Chains A and B, each alone.
Chain A
Amino acid sequence: MSITRAFDVRLKVLPLISVAEHLYYYEGPCRFGSGDALEPGYDALANAQKQRMFLDNLRKSAGENIDIMDPVVMRRTDEWDDHESEWEAITDAVNRCDVVVGSAAIASDDRLVEFATRFSKPLIVSPDSFASNIGVPAAIRALTGEHEVYSVWRWDQLGPMLATLRARKVMRSTRVLLATRFGSPISQSSLDTFNSYERITAKLGVQFRFVNIHELLDQMSPAAAEGNHTTPGRQTLDLTDADMAEAEKLADELLAGAAYVDIDRGYLLRSLYAYITVRKQMDFKDCCGFTVPCPDVCSTRRLNEMKFTFCLTHSLNLEKGIPSACEFDVNGVVSMQALMAVSGKCPFLGNTEPLTWGPNGEPYVLGSDPQQAEILRRRLGDDRSNVYFMQHSIAHRRIRDPKKDSDYAMQHFAHDQGFGATMRYNFDDDQGNIMTLCRFSPNAEKLMIAQAEVISGDGYRVPNCSEVVYFRVRNVDEFFNAQTNVGLHMVMVYGDYKQQLIDLAKSMGVEPLVISY
């Protein structure tokens, strides 16, 4: 698979060092020292030491998924020379980088301000620039036009800043494959998805690619000589012998490793054909995210005829670090990508709602299992306040640990006929885990960022769209009111990534809407 995932994206950082040297011995209001420190030759040696320390500190502080490029150095003397050739010499490296970290001091820091007028790359002024790390950003921010400049006064501040810029690069590198039936960005069940692709591209940098759902469905079988019905006479990405063999192998693995199996092998294979076909399309169109509508496609009756659903496609994508969401929820896909970018983890998504209780004390969720209801009641004790749930059927094996499969089961989706393979995960084992949840508003002006604590699960042994995680929030009304700004599906990973999401949101001009736990 050649898909570039969030986990694969690296930020290229260019160290830019600006130095000055005195040509003569003298003292004055801007030259302090004594003896050899005022002699010609001292500055060259001192600048070399400073450069070494800057690069050592940069490499130590940069963090993960960062590539430090070879440094570029700009020099001048106390003749205040400014040769155009110096700018020409650094242009290629600047064009290749994502962000520049600049080191300068008095008598050389004006170069960083001029850098901002010549190049539109983000510039971070390093801590070893001392006083220049205050004056330079102030000067740049006062320039006409938009200039992106940051400054840090401690090396330990640099890593989180680079991590934010890397996460933003992840968003700007995202291309989502949308399998469409109708022409609207809104599907029949995700009214709260993004309402304008153009706005999202402008705001977040995400690109969109499309595939017609009927053409996609036609490709989920071996090629016909005359071509598919929707594309007669054309060669398309139909299932090959190798694809079918891969599906058989995957089916063997999934069935052998499951804690229990409640899906027919033949139906599992049909779900796997869908997964492989989607993956091939994503590869062909260089996409790293996917979504497909549910009601819109369901009502064609083709999924019923072909005996599969897309649930397993999303699960298998997610556990590989590829955002993939149900119901044509493009917002969900991009929210997943944001969470993956900052956490390096594989999210879960579902309908996220306050928990209410039925007349017999059962939690009011689709397909609740009485045994799980009892576990929930026991764990809640007398305090049934502030409980929420998240429900869908795209759980996967990497929710707990992005590098290691957890236990899982294989269940079916369709009650009556038993088709539609889904993966099940037992949230009971994760009691007490802290979750970070997020979702963009439909116009991407806001990003809701929330935290909660896992209580238990449900639906592990129940077919259909029944996988549930119950969790406690700080205040259910506060959470609910915030959520009505962003929509039904939230995405979650384990761990505390609140600050990272806040920083990412701000870096994209999105307002963070924070609900702590």
Chain B
Amino acid sequence: MDGREKIRALLLASRTAAALHIEAINTAPELTYELVHREITEYIKAKFHLEDADCVTDNFRELAGISLAKSMQVSPELVKEFDLARSCDGVTSQTAKMVLLFLALQRDLKITFDPFSTAETETLSDISVLVWEQLQKRI
């Protein structure tokens, strides 16, 4: 398998895994916070292509940085220091990755976040709480 094919395979696997965790939430006979937290954590790891060994922190921004570092094959410190590849609107790659994750959650779970609430999240637990609160409204 050449490089491009490997990446395609990786992306497909990640999408499949992410979809499974969303389905677990959407089809759960009884929705609990613990279930939501577990599935959301695994969903984010799948979306960010992170293995368990990569998850050395619970901080969402840092995990986005580790994910970027892996995909660009540079160190997380380099990502943190230089925040590579930003766009003219001033959104850094790390921020874009976090925002896209929230958009995907909104679409996949059919919920809507208040933008400022998403900006206040620090950890995966904070995101789980936000999702849990929106899922309650959905019910």
Contact = CB atoms under 8 A, between A and B. Distances in A.
Contact of A32 (B87, B98, B104): B87
Nearest to A22: B89
B123 interface: no
Contacts of B89: 20, 43, 46, 105-107
Contact of B96 (A46, A47, A48, A128): A46
Nearest to B116: A48
A44 interface: yes
Interface in A1-60: 20, 30, 32-33, 35-37, 39, 41-53
A46 B95 CA distance: 7
B103 A45 contact: yes
Which residue, B98, B100, B113, B120, has most C-beta atoms of chain A within 10 A?
B100
Contacts of A39: 103
Nearest to A44: B115
B86 interface: yes
A107 B90 CA distance: 11
A130 B89 CA distance: 8
Contact of B88 (A30, A37, A42, A53): A30
B53 interface: no
A105 B90 contact: yes
Contacts of A131: 88
A283 B113 CA distance: 54
B139 interface: no
A129 B102 CA distance: 24
Contact of B86 (A44, A48, A130, A132): A130
Interface residues of B, number: 22
Which residue, B87, B98, B100, B119, has most C-beta atoms of chain A within 10 A?
B119
B75 interface: no
Interface in B52-73: none
B106 interface: yes
A322 B16 CA distance: 70
A46 B88 contact: no
B50 interface: no
Contact of A48 (B88, B90, B103, B119): B119
A53 to B, nearest CB: 7
Nearest to B113: A45
B88 A106 contact: yes
Contact of A45 (B87, B88, B90, B115): B115
Interface of A: 20, 30, 32-33, 35-37, 39, 41-53, 105-107, 128-132
| In the complex, the 6 A-B pairs of residues with the closest C-beta atoms, listed nearest first | A48-B115, A52-B119, A48-B119, A105-B90, A44-B115, A45-B99
29 contacts: A20-B89, A32-B87, A32-B88, A33-B87, A35-B100, A36-B104, A37-B96, A37-B99, A41-B103, A42-B99, A42-B100, A43-B89, A45-B99, A45-B102, A45-B103, A45-B115, A46-B95, A47-B115, A48-B118, A48-B119, A49-B95, A49-B99, A49-B118, A50-B95, A52-B119, A52-B120, A105-B88, A106-B89, A132-B90
Interface of B: 86-91, 95-96, 98-100, 102-104, 106-107, 113, 115-116, 118-120
Given A44-B115, A106-B88, 19 more contacts: A20-B89, A30-B88, A36-B103, A37-B96, A37-B99, A39-B103, A41-B103, A41-B106, A42-B99, A45-B103, A45-B118, A46-B96, A49-B98, A49-B99, A51-B119, A105-B90, A106-B89, A131-B88, A132-B90
